[in-house]
């Protein structure tokens, strides 16, 4: 983390805002994975405790140690537990899957931290090359044309990376929407922080996407990417 922040604080243009956005999303995804894992563990512990109590009730009934008046209530408690257990097992499975998906997205976003920097470094290299070509009169027009084409491709790639960042953050946010009321109370603040980090990841990535799209001449590509981005940003409204 310190190495990354030192690079971010340097006078180099990379890594920049795109990498920071991917890092924000990665931290959000990591926090969500933690929240889901802890919540799942708590539910498992509670179920185990309740199961022991139910088994104790059944044992006492068999030994005829339960008064007739309370027998009916105890039987009902047992039935309620087994019904609740079915529901909780579905939630446990969902929390496990969500924790795994969040961690997978975290790892993908970590890769995009570097990919974003590399994509923009490539743009800068192509722009520098065009400048050299224009200065050197001995270069032919075909060299300028090819370099301009390369610059356009570089900008397309530089737009594609933050769109991936925004898409991954959006994917995890959609999952979190259905689980917001299911997380364990002591980690609800972590859950909210995770959501904020993922939203920052989307907003920051969107700024980078638009900056790069403004430099691209291919209208079809630009329109397609703006539509993709619009769908993702709709979630934040």
Structural domain contains residue 227: yes
Looking at the chain, the whole-number percentage of residues with pLDDT higher than 70 is 84
Return the residue matching tokens 């309620």.
80
Residue-wise burial string across 153-185, b where 16 or more C-beta atoms lie within 10 A, e elsewhere: ebbbbbbbbbbbbbbbbbbbbebbeebeebbbe
Section 72-80 average pLDDT: 57
Structural domain contains residue 1: no
Structural domain contains residue 132: yes
CATH of the domain at 84: 1.20.120.680
At residue 7, the pLDDT reads 95
Q: Which pTM was predicted?
A: 0.86
Structural domain contains residue 137: yes
Identify the residue with better confidence: 76 or 7: 7
Structural domain contains residue 8: no
Structural domain contains residue 7: no
At residue 67, the pLDDT reads 53
Structural domain contains residue 5: no
Q: Given a cut of 70, is residue 62 above it in pLDDT?
A: no
Confidence of residue 149 (pLDDT cuts 50, 70, 90): very high
Nearest-Å Rg of the Cα atoms of the chain is 27
Q: Given a cut of 80, is residue 75 above it in pLDDT?
A: no
Structural domain contains residue 10: no
- Interval 166-220: pLDDT, tens: 999 999 999 898 898 999 999 999 999 999 999 999 999 999 999 999 999 999 9
Confidence of residue 135 (pLDDT cuts 50, 70, 90): low
Counted domains in the chain: 1
Sign, CA torsion 142/148/152/153: positive
Section 27-42 average pLDDT: 97
Domain of 108, in residue numbers? 15-234
From its phi and psi, is residue 202 left (phi > 0), alpha (psi between -120 and 50) or beta?
alpha
CA 226 to chain centre: 20
């Amino acid at each position: 983390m310190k190495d990354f922040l030192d690079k971010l604080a340097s006078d180099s243009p990379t890594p920049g805002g795109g990498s920071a956005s991917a890092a924000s999303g990665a931290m959000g995804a990591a926090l969500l994975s933690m929240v889901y894992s802890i919540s799942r563990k708590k539910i498992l512990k509670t179920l185990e405790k309740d199961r022991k109590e139910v088994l104790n009730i059944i044992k006492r009934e068999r030994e005829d140690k339960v008064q007739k008046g309370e027998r009916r209530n105890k039987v009902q408690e047992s039935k309620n537990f087994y019904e609740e257990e079915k529901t909780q097992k579905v939630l446990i499975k969902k929390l496990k899957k969500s924790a795994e998906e969040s961690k997978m997205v975290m790892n993908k976003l970590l890769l995009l931290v570097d990919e974003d920097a590399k994509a923009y470094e490539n743009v800068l290299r192509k722009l520098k090359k065009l400048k050299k070509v224009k200065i050197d009169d001995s270069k032919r027009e075909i060299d300028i044309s090819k370099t301009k084409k390369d610059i356009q491709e570089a900008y397309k790639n530089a737009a594609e990376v933050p769109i991936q960042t925004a898409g991954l953050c959006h994917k995890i946010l959609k999952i979190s929407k259905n689980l917001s009321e299911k997380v364990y109370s002591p980690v609800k603040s972590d859950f909210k922080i995770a959501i904020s980090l993922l939203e920052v990841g989307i907003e920051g990535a969107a700024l980078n996407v638009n900056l790069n799209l403004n430099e691209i001449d291919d209208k079809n590509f630009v329109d397609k990417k703006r539509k993709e981005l619009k769908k993702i940003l709709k979630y934040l409204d």
